[in-house]
Amino acid sequence: MTEFAIKVLLVEDNPGDVRLLLEILQETPPDQFTVTQVDHLEKAINLLTAESFDVILLDLTLPDSMGLDTFLKLYRRASAIPIVVLTGLDDETLTLRAMQEGAQDYLVKGKVTGDLVSRSLRYAIERQRAEHKIREQAALLDITTDAISVRDLQHNIVFWNQGAERVFGWRAEEAIGQNAVQLLYRKSELQLKEAINAVMEQGKWFGELNKITKSGQEVIVESRWALVRDDAKRPKSILTVDTDITEKKQLEAQFFRAQRLESIGTLASGIAHDLNNILTPILAAAQLLPLKLKNLDDRSQLLLQLLETNAKRGADLVKQVLSFTRGVEGKRMVLQTRHLIAEIEKILQETFPKSVTIYSNIAKDLWTVSGDSTQLHQVLMNLCVNARDAMLSGGLLTLSAQNQWLNETDVRMNFEARVGPYIVISVADTGMGIPTANLERIFEPFFTTKDLGKGTGLGLSTVVGIVKSHGGFVTVTSQEGTGTEFKVFCLR
């Protein structure tokens, strides 16, 4: 017996068959197998708890078990060990069933030769190992969060891992057989053509793609494609590995936007300071001149007044610009936001056109925040005036406020947000909405879509400046033609 001998468990009760098989198994080449033989199924099962074997040779007709049952009982105990079944000449159906249930091979009694047994047993062991490896690899494919799929050259999906289910929402049984182009791409045909050309020519492709999930949402993926060839080296299918980078992209865009805002702010604050220095003497002169020139005629007095009011307006504007760049220092007090919002609502009821219906919904137990009431007042007024301007033919303005604890998941998508208690004040309108292209820019100082003289483009940048200095942030969602909602998050 060599140490590489294959350990066979022979489960067979017929003494004649046992003798024959043992003889065959000892045949050429010698020492290939070491055989342990038992004559009952129960003995085999007991033995398996104590000892391990490389392969089992199983007669399906035993004193304590008959037919397919024999196989199933043993298989349940020893599914990791390959089983070769021994059947009679006329047992074709039974043999087939056993194979379907997981038997690795079969031998027909009376037709067994040394070669046949040797080959069958080795083949069974090999096959079991290969299957085990494939199962292991398949499990690995499912552990990764990447979406892995394989499609044939007509783009019919033939493989779809759990990562793909997670990223795209389609279950494997829904995706397999579908056309990948129709399932996952809606408008990025150009990108797709480029990728297909590259993979066919160079065997691989790498790049970013926009794909669509089952629920119709867009996902941005970092995609790696490889051409798979058959044994004859002919292109056979395309393997795709997609990493979801949607969140990363969004955060990146947010960050760039914030950076641009900051640089515009710095620029604006420089100009504002200069303007301030220019306006101060003009204002002083406009106020001093009437005192010096007591006998001025009415018309000249009016002109000086005009000078003064406009210099003051200029100074106010400058102050506003400075207030969002510098992050206004104001007096901080503990504020009952409920009262503040109620006050705003009252002003709106009195001053807004009757075509705008005002509705408010404020949580009773709203937390207090530490802040400057004049500034927060200004924040809400700016948002409400914008809402009014967006509803020229009337609509609904909803003011609401509630407490919200932001958790890890909430803050992941917003780099200004922190985990913790916030009060959220929302100003929602049913107005014209904001085109997606403008959403990027509305918080920039001087960005306005309003006619000259109607808008300064400073409202929202002031809002952001003030809210930021209160440790908060502002979000906006909008749909053209439907309405807009601004949410102000203030740290408790």
Number of amino acids touching Mg ion (CB under 5 A): 2
Q: Which of 57, 209, 484, 489 binds ligand ADP (CB under 6 A)?
A: 484
User: Which residue, 148 or 427, is less far from ligand ADP as judged by CB?
Assistant: 427
Q: Which of 163, 265, 459, 483 binds Mg ion (CB under 5 A)?
A: 459
The interface region with Mg ion, picked from 186-194, 242-250, 381-389, 471-479 by CB under 5 A, is 381-389
The interface region with Mg ion, picked from 108-116, 125-133, 320-328, 454-462 by CB under 5 A, is 454-462
Taking CA atoms, 178 is separated from 158, 168, 171, in Å, by 8, 13, 12
Encoded one letter per residue, x for contact with Mg ion by CB under 5 A and - for no contact, window 384-413 reads --x---------------------------
448 forms part of the interface with ligand ADP (CB under 6 A): yes
457 forms part of the interface with ligand ADP (CB under 6 A): yes
Number of amino acids touching ligand ADP (CB under 6 A): 21
Question: Rounded distance, CA 473 to CA 488, Å?
Answer: 6
User: Which residue, 318 or 335, is less far from Mg ion as judged by CB?
Assistant: 318
Sites for ligand ADP among residues 355-414 (CB under 6 A)? 382, 386-387, 390
The interface region with ligand ADP, picked from 209-217, 223-231, 292-300, 447-455 by CB under 6 A, is 447-455
Residue 154 beta carbon to ligand ADP: minimum distance, rounded to whole angstroms: 47
272 forms part of the interface with ligand ADP (CB under 6 A): no
Q: Which of 169, 235, 455, 471 binds ligand ADP (CB under 6 A)?
A: 455
429 forms part of the interface with ligand ADP (CB under 6 A): yes
Question: Rounded distance, CA 177 to CA 209, Å?
Answer: 22
Residue 433 beta carbon to ligand ADP: minimum distance, rounded to whole angstroms: 6
Q: Which of 82, 163, 265, 431 binds ligand ADP (CB under 6 A)?
A: 431
82 forms part of the interface with Mg ion (CB under 5 A): no
Tell me, letter by letter, the H, E, C secondary structure of the chain.
CCCCCEEEEEECCCHHHHHHHHHHHHCCCCCCEEEEEECCHHHHHHHHHHCCCCEEEEECEECCEECHHHHHHHHHHCCCCCEEEEECCCCHHHHHHHHHHCCCEEEECCCCCHHHHHHHHHHHHHHHHHHHHHHHHHHHHHHCCCEEEEEECCCEEEEECHHHHHHHCCCHHHHCCCEHHHHHCCCCHHHHHHHHHHHHHHCEEEEEEEEECCCCCEEEEEEEEEEEECCCCCEEEEEEEEEECHHHHHHHHHHHHHHHHHHHHHHHHHHHHHHHHHHHHHHHHHHHHHHHCCCCCHHHHHHHHHHHHHHHHHHHHHHHHHHHHHCCCCCCEEECHHHHHHHHHHHHHHHCCCCEEEEEEECCCCCCEEECHHHHHHHHHHHHHHHHHHCCCCEEEEEEEEEEEECHHHHHCCCCCCCEEEEEEEEEECCCCCCHHHHCCCCCCCCCCCCCCCCCCCHHHHHHHHHHHCCCEEEEEEECCCEEEEEEEEEC
Q: Look at residue 450 and give the partner it binds from Mg ion, ligand ADP, none, a contact being a CB closer than 5 to 8 Å depending on partner kind.
A: ligand ADP
Residue nearest to ligand ADP (CB): 459
Residue 383 beta carbon to Mg ion: minimum distance, rounded to whole angstroms: 8
Residue 161 beta carbon to ligand ADP: minimum distance, rounded to whole angstroms: 44
447 forms part of the interface with ligand ADP (CB under 6 A): yes
Residue 378 beta carbon to Mg ion: minimum distance, rounded to whole angstroms: 11
User: Which residue, 367 or 447, is less far from ligand ADP as judged by CB?
Assistant: 447
Encoded one letter per residue, x for contact with ligand ADP by CB under 6 A and - for no contact, window 195-234 reads ----------------------------------------
Residues paired with 237 in a beta bridge: 152, 228
What residue ranges bind ligand ADP (CB under 6 A)?
A: 382, 386-387, 390, 429, 431-432, 434, 442, 447-450, 455-461, 484
- Applying CB under 5 A, the residues found at the interface with Mg ion are 386, 459
